[in-house]
Structure 1
Amino acid sequence: MTLRRTFIALLAGVGLAAASAAAPIVLRDDGGAEHRLAAPPQRIVSLLPSLTESVCALGGCARLVGVDRYSNWPDSIKHLPRLGGLEDAQVERIVALKPDVVLAAKSARVTERLQSLGLRVVLVESQTHADVRRSLGLIAQLLGTPAEGERAWDAIEAEFQRAAARVPPARRGQKVYFEVASDPYAAGAASFIGETLVKLGLGNIVPRELGPFPRLNPEYVVRAQPDLIIASQQALQSMAGRPGWPALKALPRQACGFAEARYELLIRPGPRMGEAAAALADCVAGQPAGDSR
């Protein structure tokens, strides 16, 4: 009798698994559109590096058939067709790949054109930690593995905690200027980068009310006198030559300039944010202690 019940239970479990695999996928993207798919997509085009990385981190790398020109992680996607970027996506080549789904940012200009040609475009927003957590869940659901999204986020959170433990107590609360473009544009407190700085116990010269990535008056940065400057290596090397910027007390010793590949890691809102936090923590911990204010 026990064997019979066990066999029936096993059959029921198989049936439930099969029903789950066959169940249609219904989700709402960050543009507000509802998507219904009979099965998980097998041919995916990604038009943003952070989305490419998310698909791969969630186990869907083999389903990618094309990516934007800036996607470069992991190495396994480097052979894929390059399809332009946010402003100049190559529509004809995307259509020719016959994707089941195109993943794009809300700001992508190509969305309406692709939709008019019959392609399914799933829009994803990733400006804050909450956005990234939600987008990982959305992509995991799209891939047919919904539990993987929360697992990926839990791993990021664990890396945040380990990184925060490496920041010296004397550095906590110090104000950071994080440059994302030399106009200058900064990562404000409302951005995913700003939120990572908070998790590391650091401050930001750009308050939340200025938005995630505001363009600043160069004098604003000088008046704010950040305790620490973080930027690409190339941008950091040019700062002393900007009008008024030699007055920045953090230059040159209280500054972190990252080589291109490492800097890309810092500015991508996706599954490698925990690794980015570790890189930032190492930067902060490596500054000369004597200059700390």
Structure 2
Amino acid sequence: MKPRLFSFCALLFALLLGPAHAQAPAKIEIKDDLGHTTQWSRPPQRIVTLLPSLTETVCALGACERLVGVDRYSNFPEAVNKLPKLGGLDDTQVETIVSLRPDVVLLAPSSRVTDRLRSLGLTVVTLEAKSYADVQRVLDKIGALLQVRDAQAVWRRIDALVGAAAQSIPPQARGSLVYYEVDRSPYAAGPVSFMGETMARLGLKNIITPEMGPFPKISPEYVVRAAPQLIMIGKRNADGLFQRPGWDRIPAIRDKRVCVFDAQQSDVLARPGPRMGEAAQLMAQCLREHYAKP
């Protein structure tokens, strides 16, 4: 073959092959919080979520219609209440999950069914957020999985709402010493948790120290010694709060500076995901009510 003819044929072959090669879909690869790496040839179309914050994240990223089942505690947005509810941590309905034929199951690292689901041939991705940085990381992971171009747009909205909430805090509330009880055992929200980070953004001081972890179990006596000026607590844990032994010496109890959140508000406050901005707004409202000038 003459050199010029060979060059023409090579160019023609490259032009024919090039577009097909360029259009080949790139594989999606996700490394989860347990170190497992999974690949997909296209974004999953049938998704099961077994953690409310993951459910809300999928929906915030515009893929609510791809959900085919959720855990029993997922209740936002309203549309997910029509989906099959697949139990909780102790009674996950594995057989039902299998019957839903999901392309992926999103759950927490603490889930007890991860290995079983994998043994049944299901693709599992474990993700969980405990801090602001974790929330951003999970948004990126799920955004990559769903092939969302700008998953961090959700984070920018969260950050803007938290900033607006901080601007609305009465000056006299800033620097207040706060105890947030997440469970009456009692477990508290520490400063390294997403809840604690929101409190810090609002200018509050936490009675829990960073080395104690995100959600430490503490003694009632610790709270008495710490003498918080404000207590935040869910209604389900608040019964008998003012009658706890020795707690009448706590400034927050004495001055009746206690924010009691109903079940719906507690859900918003306790979920590290797209509604963290709304959670900051709830805390800010509490502060305005208790520290507004008479």
TM-score, normalising length: structure 2: 0.90
Determine helix, strand or coil for the equivalent of 2:192. coil
- Whether the 8 Å contact between 1:253 and 1:288 is mirrored in structure 2 is no
Q: Does 1:216 align with 2:211?
A: no
- Whether the 8 Å contact between 1:159 and 1:277 is mirrored in structure 2 is yes
Q: Does 1:38 align with 2:41?
A: yes
Aligned-partner Cα distance in 1 for 2:236–2:243:
12
- Whether the 8 Å contact between 2:229 and 2:250 is mirrored in structure 1 is no
Partner of 1:194: 196
Partner of 1:142: 145
Aligned-partner Cα distance in 1 for 2:282–2:292:
18
5 Å matches for 1:39-118? Answer: 39-118=42-121
Q: How has the CA–CA distance of structure 1 residues 241 and 97 changed in structure 2, closer, same or farther, with 3 Å as cutoff?
A: same
- Whether the 8 Å contact between 1:103 and 1:121 is mirrored in structure 2 is yes
- Whether the 8 Å contact between 1:45 and 1:66 is mirrored in structure 2 is yes
Aligned-partner Cα distance in 2 for 1:153–1:225:
34
Q: Deviations over 1:202-257 (max 9, x none)?
A: 11000110000011111000110111100012322321122222222212621100
Partner of 1:274: 277
How many residue pairs are counted as aligned between the two chains? 275
Determine helix, strand or coil for the equivalent of 1:22. coil
Determine helix, strand or coil for the equivalent of 2:115. helix
* Structure 2 residues without counterparts, runs of 5 or longer: 1-17
Partner of 1:241: 243
Q: Which residue identity is paired with 1:31?
A: L
- Whether the 8 Å contact between 1:55 and 1:61 is mirrored in structure 2 is yes
Q: How has the CA–CA distance of structure 1 residues 288 and 154 changed in structure 2, closer, same or farther, with 3 Å as cutoff?
A: closer
TM-score, normalising length: structure 1: 0.90
Partner of 1:183: 185
Aligned-partner Cα distance in 1 for 2:54–2:139:
9
Q: Deviations over 1:114-158 (max 9, x none)?
A: 0111111101021111001100111111111142x2111111111
Q: Which residue identity is paired with 1:60?
A: A
Aligned-partner Cα distance in 2 for 1:239–1:248:
11
Q: Which residue identity is paired with 2:200?
A: V
Please identify runs of 4+ aligned residues in structure 1 that moved more than 4 A: 18-21, 288-291
* Structure 1 residues without counterparts, runs of 5 or longer: 1-14
